[in-house]
Amino acid sequence: MVPMFSIVARSSGTGKTTVMEKLILELTQRGWKVGAVKNASREMHLDHPGKDSWRFEQAGAQAIAIITEDKAALICHTAQRWSPQDVAPLLGAVDLLIIEGYKEAKIPKVEVVRKEKGEEVVTAREDLVAVVTDVADLNVAVPVFSLEETAKLADFVEEKFIRSKASLEEFSHFDSQGRAHMVDVTAKALTLREAVAQGEISMAQETVALVKAGKMAKGDVLAVAQVAAVMGVKETSRLIPMCHPLLIGGVSTAFSLDEAAGKIEVTVKVKIKGQTGVEMEALSGVNTALLTIYDMCKAVDKNMVMGKIRLLEKRGGRSGHYLRKE
């Protein structure tokens, strides 16, 4: 079942639509697919007299679908006002359903409280999950956000409704029976994704000097390691059992030599337009480059140590932007 909640208020004119609009924009920019439902008491323009949908209904049609190149709408007769649960299956593959109104429905609610409309919270305590308000020091037993704190409200919604409701199969490499499986990403959209990983190899100062001068017996260490990083990225799905084979868009590798500290730092950035992230590919690229440096230099220095292999940054996908804080 799609996670859902409604945005309600004690009366009209409180800004529910504005809060909902800003929240949808914020969540969409983070990569989530959001469905929206408005509990309208008035006639929608879609069903306006004179419009095609209205004319079809007047002619006797019991259900009407309006389809364009990138949109679809459904109009059908119902025995009574539908609930959000009735509507949800018709909205396609969404991560979250946000409803404006439906105060009577037994679903979680975020209430908008405006000082000019009254400072009383009208939602039943068992349904209330948060409040958005311009009232200072509002005394309620749920998280409170100001009208300007859309990003913080989105953080709350992500954790409470999207991540906590995600299925085991969707976010785990184990299926419902506890067996390992490859996560199904076929329903995900193609989006731009990037990942940056870094690691280092410590060695004697003299070894770094030989690499820097290009005097290692096996040849140009960094040139070979750069090729190795690309190969490591491309071979990730063959090395890590549950990784998807990916059509990598680009790989860039950078080396930083610190002769005084006796180390070489490797940074690998991977880009793709795809359905899953490339963190593992970037990390595999770093590891392969470091192992290649070790192989190229081990004849003169067997005491080298590889370490600090980590993800620095990722962009794209449902989890949005991650930046490591050292």
Determine which one of 47, 127, 134, 295 is catalytic. Answer: 295
Please report where in the chains the tokens 């306006």 appear, as a residue: 48
How does DSSP assign 263-312, residue by residue?
A: EEEEEEEEEEEESS--HHHHHHHHHHHHHHHHHHHTTT-TT-EEEEEEEE
Q: Which two tokens stand for residue 303?
A: 């005491």
Alpha carbons 244 and 231: distance in angstroms, whole number: 16
184 in catalytic set: no
- Looking at residue 236, what DSSP letter applies? H
Q: Which two tokens stand for residue 118?
A: 């009254």
How does DSSP assign 166-228, residue by residue?
A: --HHHH-SB-TTS-B-----TTSPPEEEEEEEEEEEE--HHHHHHHHHT--TT--HHHHHHHH
Q: Which residues have a catalytic role annotated?
A: 295
